[in-house]
Structures are given as structure tokens and as C-alpha cells.
Structure 1
Amino acid sequence: MERTISGMMGKGSVNHNTRAFTAKNVDKERSRDNVEFCHSDIKEVYHNLFDDALERYNAKQKRSDRKIDDYYEKIRRGKQEKLFYEVIFQIGNKDDMNVQSNEGQLAKEILCEFMEQFQKRNPNLYVFSSHLHMDEQTPHIHIDFVPFIRNSKRGLDTRVSLKGALSEQGFKGGTRGMTEWNEWIEVEKQELSKVMGRHGVQWKQLGTHNKHLSVLDFEKQERQKEVAELEQTIFGSKEELSDILHQQIAAGQETEQIRKEGEAIRQEVSELTATNHLLKEQTETLTGDKEKLLSENEKLEKQQKKLQQELNKMVQSKEVMERNIHAYDEDVKWQLAEPGALMSAKAYRDKKALPIVEKLKEVVKNLTIKCVQLAEQSKKLTVKVDGQQKQISRLTDKVMEQSDTIDRLQEKASDFGRLERHFGREQVQSIVERSKVLEQAEKANKRPKRAFEMSR
């Protein structure tokens, strides 16, 4: 059995290889028969291969503009090298190695065995994605790899280079028709032919004038179909995207309107909440003041009663004095006796009149002092009573004023309750909590930073 071998450079469509995108020529029912040898994120591959070299390269640069931030992005945007390369190998064609035939299954076994030693044969080609397709007409294998060299004298000491990688593996090229790539492909075909030989299949090498459509041309046609389908898909996606954008704009406008309404409600609730908190604090303060004033008023009333009792005592003392004075008129001991028959005027004066006069003087003096004291005490008590009366009046007015204020505060609290009943307690509480968070954030932003925070 003789079969041709095709080895060509692919376009490197990883989405096609992994079937993230399914072309029209792909039979989805047979995609389960495909084989995935490996599939890694190419960015991670670049990190693993080149990060150490990139760090060494940047450490040597004295000018910051010559440093490389991301080697993957540098290669992607550059024109000298591609991020990765792809090679496709196929045995036979759709007529003699069709996937639905026994020969197609044989081709699958040969390609799997060929792939087993591919990485070992090519140490400078880092294979990160490789897939065998059995859902098209002829089995074939896609191998995606990053070519790299070590100990480079320019740029990174480990860097991307297809020509350098193949050169380090012994392929020198030298002519336009026999480049490093062509030499390498021929050697890989020889390796594939050895595997074919172990399975009883000989390599049929075609001449330059082949009447049949080559695998490369077939792949080109299939890729053109895929590109056309992709363009149609992209066109439809653009229209769908346009519709989505219009819907997003409308939704954004509606969301903005709802946000504004919510902001107005939030502001109103925030103001009412702040007012309610303030009113509660004022109510508590005024209630405490009211209790204090009532207590002071009660004390003043007790003092007033005490003063009144003292005044009553003074009146009683005055009445007692008046009764005592009347007693002087009637008591015998205060009466001036009649002079005796043989008593002289001088003796009468010295023995009878003067002693009584002295007693009267002493009594008058004591009564005068007592009256002055009582008069002064009465005056002070009267002034004190008048002052307490005025203070009681002021406290009474203040209590009435605070009662009115408490009534107004209770009315404000009722308004807040109405707001909760209208919007719902949970919604109002949610808005209140968000308002608190925003207020705390604003306070935190306005609060001056400490020295150690600013020095960070």
C-alpha cells in the first residue's frame, strides 16, 4: 500500500483546531473521535519560556525606554517573528485514506505514533497545542509550537526565532528552494514514512506535475471557505451587536432615570432620617430638661412653703409680743405703786419709780431689737419668695415651650413613619443604611490623614 505524505505550514488557527469554531466542512458528529495531544495557554507558555531571560535583559538596560514590559506583546506587535507557527501533516487524501474507512483509522494510528516522538525530536520547538482531526474527510494533525533559541548574543538570551531554532537543530538551508523550514519538513516526512513502514504503508512521492489536487491546495480552499463563513458570521454578529448596543443605550437611559429617582428618594430619606435622629436627640434632651425643671419647680414650691411657715411664725411672734405688751398694762409688777405717807419724793423715785423705768427701758430695748430683726428677716423672706415666684413662672413657661417642641418632634417622627409605610420599612432601612455608609465614606475622605498614613 502506497500513500502520499503532506507536510505544510498552517495558518495557526487555534480556535479551528480546538473546534471552538466549527467550519462547514466539519462533521460535528465525528468530532468526538478527534485527539487532543496538548493544549496550553500561549501567554503562560511565554511566561514559562522567557520571563527569566526578560528579567536578565531588563536588569542590563540603563535606559528605561529600552526595557520590555511584556515579551508576548512585543512579539505580537512586531513584524520580525510570529507568536507561534503551525505545521500540518497528512497521509493520503480523501479518496484513499477517508476517515470513515479502515484506511482512515490506520492513518489515525500512524499519526498518533508519529506525534509521540515529535517533541523529543524537536527540542527547540515548544509544542503547546496539537490536535488530530477525524471530523473532516482525511485524517490530519495540527501541531502549533513556539520556536526559541538559547544563548542569543542580541536581545533576550532566550528568545523567539524560527530560523535560529531550526538552525540549532541542524537545518542550515542556504537556497531559496531549500530553506531551513523545507529541510526540516522533509526530515519530518522521512520520520513519518518510517512509522508508515512499520504499519505496512509505503511513502508514495509525487512528482511536480500531479494531476490531483494537492493537500495544500485542498487546505487552502477549505480555509477560504472558513474565512467566508467567518466573515458572514462576523457580519451577523455586528448587526446583533448593534441591536444589543441600542438595547444597552435604552436600558442605560432607563437605569439612569431610575437611578435619579432613587437618588431623590435616597436624599429625601437621608434628610428625614437625619432630621428624625436629630429630633430624637432633641426630644431626649428636652425631656430630661423638663424633668429637671419640674424637679426644681417642686423644690422651689417646698422652699416657698417653708418660707411661708417662717413668716407665719414671725406673725405669731409679733402677736405674742403684742400680747406681752398688753400684759405690761395689766400686770401688777409693772404698775407704779402709790407713795407711802411718810415716803419722800427722792425715796419714792429711787425705790419705786427708777427700778420700774429701768425694767421698762430694758424691755423696750429688747423689743426694739427683736422688731428690727423680724422686720429685716421678713423683708428678706419677702424678696426671696418674690424671686422664687418669678423663677417658678419662668420654669413653667419653659416647660410649656418644651412640651410644644416635643409635640412638633413627635409629628416629625410620625412623618417618618408614614414614609416607611409608603415605601416599605425594608426599602427605607436599606436606603438609610446606604446613606450612613456614604456619609461615613465622606467623613473618612474629609478627615485629615495622619502623618504615618501620608508617609506610606
Structure 2
Amino acid sequence: MTGKGSVNHNSRKFHAKNTDPERSCLNVEYCNENIKDVYHELFDEALARYNEKQTRSDRRIDDYYEKICSGKQEKLFHEIILQIGNKDDMGAKTEDGQLAAKILDEYMQDFQRRNPTLRVFSAYLHMDEATPHLHIDFIPYTTGSKRGLETRVSLKKALAELGFKGGTRSETERNQWVAAEKERLADIMLKYDIEWEKKGTHEKHLSVLDFEKNERQKEVAELEQTIFGSKEELSNILHQQIAAGQETEQMRKESETIRQEVSELSATNLLLKEQTEELTEDKEKLLSENEKLEKQQKKLQQEINKMVQSKEVMERNIHAYDEDVKWQLAEPGALMSAKNYRDKKALPLVEKLKEVVKNLTIKCVQLMEQSRKLTAKVDGQQKHISRLTDKVMEQNDTIDRLQEKVSDLGRLERHLGREQVQSIVERSKALEQAEKANKRPKRAYEMSR
């Protein structure tokens, strides 16, 4: 009932010796799809999802059709051949042969609906041979697979989804399905008053040796089917083990990455504490220097105020020189000689003016020197303030970076849990201490009594 299958022969791309080309026009073609196109239709989506999950390029499958074609676990397709009677009682040229063709056609019409997991891509009713017979080529597939492709080729699984679970060595899924299909054909035959004569009942007439030989052949075939199923299950287990190993390795790498990140964050945290202490000290220094600067600014302001007051005093003194009588040259008397006027009036006033000019000159020079020193001091303080401002900005940037590291550590604690992070930190510290201890020079002592 089942065969290897030859699509080219079924479609009559070539004629064998047992065919009559003149009657090939009577053949019925139910379907004749390209098998590669059907493979793309059935498996491309599952293949794409499978390849997306693969982390290793050597595990990706480029062409599922070629993989099955070159593999040994599954056949590309299966074929079932059905025939009623033989050339003597159901010859293709007779009325009974026409009836057989009608029964086979009715059987074919319901085949795909009855077997949804057996995708038919080629089916022919041949009337150009001695007896009408039906060739059905199909691809068995299963969906929802947890290993490999979600949708993949599997005769065993496809028949299991149809309700054929298998049992003893003689009651495999395939044998159960074939028997069920024969019963379906027999039901249609009964509608046309044709009874199925089960040839298997004649085996009792065989010799004991031949009968046992046939039984052994059946057992071998069933055993091969069982071995094939066991190989498939073993392959599934191996694939699962490989996948589990890959997942374990991936988890190990992720754990190592997390451990390194925690170690880095721990080191960053220690650095953060040290830099925080340094920043606190710098802050205190800046506050102290700021107080000093404020005092110096007040002192400078006082000195500037003094200079302003001195200027005002000088201005008042200048006005005094213009208005005060003692700084005015007196008019000569009526009887005073020029010599007396010069000696008693002019010269004393000139000497007095000289003394004032000298004092003013000294005072002006002193004020100019004070102004120069104050200007230089102010410039120096401005530069110092600028340097301190730059330093404060740098420290603010450092604080921002350290705060970001603290946030990263917080995220890690929320993701892994504070206890786990703390445990990793403690282990990292222990490892660092062990490494430091190993690097210390060991002293050797000589044993003595």
C-alpha cells in the first residue's frame, strides 16, 4: 500500500514499460505542486523563528528542504498507493475497472480533510496501466514542537496528532494508519456492493517455515521503525542537552559580567567615599578662604574710604588756600618799603607755601603707592577667586559623575536585590584581600630544636 514514490513517473514525464501512452489522457491529476514550494509554505515561518534564536551560526539552517534531503532521520515525502482488485477482476478497460476508478476518486476527495497533518502535493489516478490505482504523495508534519523547528517533518508525530499513538511492535502509528485507510476504502466499496477480501487470511496455508519467515520480516520492519523512533527521540534529547548547555554557558557569562560590574561599582563606591571626604575638606578650606577674602575686601573698602576722605580733605584744603586770609598775600602798607614787604610779607608766605606743597607731594606719592598696592592686591584676589571657582566647578562635575555611579549601583541593587549585591561585594573584597596576601613576600624560618 505504501511505496518510495516517484513524482516524475506519476505525472508521466516518462513512461515505463507497463504503461499505455495512448490511454494516459484518461489519467486524473488531482494536484501536482512543486515540493520545494510546499516546503517553503509549511516551514519558512518556523525556520525564521528558529534561526533568530540561534547564537551560533553553525546551528542555523539555510534551507530546510536541503537539510531533510541530506539527512537520514526523515524522508522528504511519503507515498500511499491504493488499488482495488487486479487486472483479472478490475481491469482498467472493463466496466468494473471504471467502477474501481470511481471508488478511488471518492476516496481521494476526502483524503486531505481526513488527514490534515499529511500535506498532499501530488496525487494521480492512473488509468493507463493494467489496473486502476491511486498515487498520493504527501509531506507529514507536526506543529508546536518544543525542540528544533516549531513546525517540522515527522511521520510519527503527524500520525500521532491524527490519533494513531502506536502500541506493540506490530501496532505502530504507520500500521494503524494504513489499516484505518484500508477500512475507509472498504466502507466506500461497500456502498457499491464490493466486499474487501482480506488476503492476510490465506497465510495459514503457507508452510511453517515461510510463515515464520514472513513474521520475522514484519518484526524486523517494525523493529526498524521503533529504532528510527528511538533515534529521533535520542536526537531530541541531545539537542535539548546542547541547548541547555548553551543556556547554562550564557547564564555563566552573564553572572561573570554582573560580578565584574559589581566589583567595579564597589571600587567606584570606595573612590566615591574617599573623594567625598576630600571634597568635604576642600569645602571647609574654601569656606575659610572665603571668610578671609571677605575680611580682606572689608579692609580694602576701609582703605578706599580713607583715600576718598583724604581726597576730600585735600579738596577742602585747596579751597582753604583760595579763601583763607592767612594764605593771601597782604597789601603793602603806605610807608612800607619793598625790602620790608618782601622780608616780612612775601617770603614768609612763600616758605609756608613751599612747606605745604612739599607735604602735599609726599602725601600724593604715598597715596599713589597705596593705590598701586591695593590694585595689585585686588587683581591677585580676583585671580585667586577665579581659580577657586574653577576648582568648585571641577568638584561639582566630579560629584555628578560619582552620583551617576551611585545611581548605577542602586539600579543593580533593585535588579539583583541588595543582599545578593552585598554578597557579591563581600566575595569581591575577599578575593582582593586574598590576591594582596598572595603578593606579599613570605618569610622562611628554619626549623630548630
User: What TM-score do the two structures reach when normalised by structure 1?
Assistant: 0.44
Question: 1 or 2 for the larger relative contact order (CA 8 Å, sep ≥6)?
Answer: 1
